Structure 1
């Protein structure tokens, strides 16, 4: 066999091996599956966080697994929680804190609290139409929300009235992300948007369009939706109305 023929055979063998490895790596896992809690959550270390441009206290609380009220109290930041670029914040310990540890010890399937928070009494509504292709999981590293399939450009609506506290793409793995606070205890998150049509600090009504569905930060078109009570992720389907039904409020 000539040298050229040997090289051609070797090239085909390498390509076949690479394809087999790719298929093996993709098998057994939904194309919508995302291990959100295993993704990097920003650059911070120890018990402090340095404020970057675009940060809000709600965003910092989210990525460090702290409660907004705790960060505000520890750092003596009054409402509406204005921050300065370069400001160094002390953290309450995040997932290693006593509060977070107790929350996880008291966790139950579907809701991460021994006693359900008053979320069921709120006027929640579905943020978009589509099939739920990835359910909520309370397991470590599980999906802390639901993934709803759709088509690019499909409208996304706020699940309840509130105030926008973050619009950006700083959080790795979430793509274009919108976070909305509802009162002082609840936050909803809408990830992988193609476009966003709201801004930080904007008041929004229940059912108001806030963006369109896309695939930013992922490889498929879907909406990743979360409901959080303080720093605890809840199962959205335990609080959303039955499909096709209006909110019970």
Structure 2
């Protein structure tokens, strides 16, 4: 009876106005379309909000390998319902850090003058797609460390501090994920620094950046939120070719 009454109220409000409950159900159906093909044990079904980078991050894979195994183009475009293999096809071996794109290749996040046309001198810029290692890492927060890499299986560094404290980009790059679809990371930001390195920032209260944004080292990208224990927390990771590494390998000596 309650459902019937809700439906009658929606009709009474006018068909043009719609019904919030029905819209939510419809949005959910659109959000999770059926898989495009049969799903095996080593497959993943793309959901709304996923990116190649977030799927690779979730499964500790190199995003380049994931794209190669699934015939995904250089734009890394995927679609809800698409089924991706998480292991190489039979007879295809995993590659080891294929060469970066040339500086003039399409898809660079920094514009360059067309060949043969003069351009005014400009300060050198870093292209995170092609300049592996040619940048300096900084700490993502001034908050104290509460759990180091490797402690209790930690894949990164956990920082305490206060809710709302600024979260900073640890190196220049491009935001390749900004959302909350990865279970266990809360509001998450992933930054691509070059073809090898990514950094991730979890449990944010507010995200300042969206996918595609270019950021500089030390730029505020979010505000610290609360972790699973309902305490202020920033979970920070650095991934090399999809695998977590100790951030201390890249970061300067901690201020403390």
In structure 2, what is the equivalent of residue 104 of structure 1? none
Equivalence for 1:67: 62
1:164 counterpart residue number: 175
Distance 1:222 1:196 in 2: 14
Q: Deviations over 1:109-152 (max 9, x none)?
A: xxxxxxxxx98764110001011110101x8x600000111101
- The answer to whether residue 179 in structure 2 is matched with residue 173 in structure 1 is no
1:49 corresponds to: 44
- Summarize deviations over 1:150-177 as a string: whole Å, max 9, x none: 1011001100111111111122221111
TM-score by length of structure 1 reads 0.66
Q: Deviations over 1:168-207 (max 9, x none)?
A: 1122221111111111111101011111010011111111
Structure-2 change in CA distance of 1:89 and 1:177 (3 Å): same
C-alpha distance in 2 between matches for 1:125 and 1:146:
14
Does the aligned pair in 2 maintain the 1:158–1:205 contact within 8 Å?
yes
Identify the structure with the greater helix proportion.
1
1:83 aligns with 2:78: yes
The 3 A distance-change label for structure 1 pair 145 and 196 is: same
- Say which is worse superposed, 128-137 or 165-174, in terms of deviation: 165-174
For 2:66 and 2:57, the matched residues in 1 are separated by 11
Structure 2 residue 173 is matched with structure 1 residue 134: no
Please, which runs of 5 or more residues in structure 1 have no aligned partner? Answer: 1-43, 101-117
1:85 is paired with a residue of what secondary structure? coil
- Please provide the CA RMSD for this pair: 2.7
Residues 45 and 168 of structure 1: is their aligned pair in 2 closer, same or farther, counting only changes over 3 Å? farther
Poorly superposed stretches of 4+, deviation over 3 Å: 118-122
Matches for 1:190-229 after TM superposition, within 5 Å: 190-229=201-240
Structure 1 residues 231 and 217: CA distance shift in structure 2, 3 A: same
Does residue 185 (structure 1) correspond to residue 180 (structure 2)? The answer is no
d(CA) in 2 for partners of 1:215 and 1:244? 23
Does the aligned pair in 1 maintain the 2:65–2:94 contact within 8 Å? no
For residue 86 of structure 1, report the CA deviation from its aligned partner. 1.3
Matched, 1:239 2:234: no
Aligned to 2:226, what secondary structure does the other structure show?
coil
